Amino acid sequence: MSNNIEWYYMWSEKYRFFHEILKDTVKEPEFTIKPIHIDQSYFDKNLYTSKGQHAWSGCSLKIDLLIESLENSNTQYILFTDADIVPAKNIYKNLKDYIDEGYTQVFLDEVNHLNIGFILLKVCPEVIQFWKDIKTIMSQQGGHDQKHVNDLISNYNDKWTKFDSQVFTCSNIWNGIKEFSIMQPLSSCLGKEYDFAEKIFVTAQHIEIEEYMKYVPEDIIPFIYKFQEIIFKSYKESAANS
């Protein structure tokens, strides 16, 4: 097996903004970028199907593709990530310690739970079986894939851990002191259009996005301005109360 890392993520036309940033930004030679294109109609039909629940509730596509990627990989480790992440510097350098220490699964640490938007996975039977168990539970119970991972990880008998929460980080916990290698932009769950606009807003704080704005769906543009208005209103209210 190769010592390089295959980096899998799925994207649709709506998320081309993030896809283009990811494939243009990640230039470290240790990575082989393996984008998986999914027709937008699949997401339109299968996400945001239950009001008040997570957008991915009841949808096992991510788990299906993760298992397929593990089973077909020719490398010792893979990354399986969301497309809407912010890549920065020294990604491989900061991953290598986890590989050298023999961890088979490494997750983002989102304060009180694991986030599966950026996962380092060893290609081995134990890891594949863990995700097949997640798939089985989803087929029986539905629900959100990430919640099932958090519920089952304590039963996983091989070596796993969480990333340094400031190096491989989520936007709601990064303290701005340490340079991050990966940031997972998280949304405030104001609605799917606002969620998308908020992720673009977060990305723009760390990457020059002007050349990528042509890939943003037109129906999202008004929500970017509306989200900025929400931020400004919150700032004014906070200032008035301080």
Cα–Cα distances (Å) from 224 to 98, 149, 198, 233, 237, in that order, read 37, 32, 7, 14, 20
Question: Does 228 or 24 have the greater pLDDT score?
Answer: 24
Task: Give the integer Cα–Cα distance in Å for 219 and 197.
Answer: 10
Q: Are 171 and 183 in contact (CB under 8 A)?
A: yes
Residue 235 has pLDDT above 70, yes or no: no
The reported pLDDT for the residue numbered 50 is 53
Residue 88 has pLDDT above 70, yes or no: yes
Residue 23 has pLDDT above 70, yes or no: yes
The string of pLDDT tens digits covering residues 25-84 is: 999 999 999 999 998 876 676 555 555 445 555 568 899 999 999 999 999 999 999 999
Helix (H, G, I), strand (E, B) or coil at 10: strand
Helix (H, G, I), strand (E, B) or coil at 125: helix
The reported pLDDT for the residue numbered 52 is 45
Residue 116 has pLDDT above 90, yes or no: yes
180-195 mean pLDDT? 90
How buried is 239 (Cβ within 10 angstroms: 0-12 exposed, 13-18 middle, 19+ buried)?
Answer: exposed
Domains annotated for the chain, with CATH where assigned, are: 2-186 (3.90.550.10), 190-242 (no CATH)
Task: Give the integer Cα–Cα distance in Å for 32 and 48.
Answer: 31
The pTM for the full model equals 0.91
Residue 147 has pLDDT above 50, yes or no: yes
The reported pLDDT for the residue numbered 49 is 54
The reported pLDDT for the residue numbered 25 is 96
Q: List the Cα angle 88/184/54 in 5-degree steps.
A: 165
Task: Give the integer Cα–Cα distance in Å for 87 and 94.
Answer: 12
Task: Give the integer Cα–Cα distance in Å for 20 and 11.
Answer: 10
The reported pLDDT for the residue numbered 143 is 78
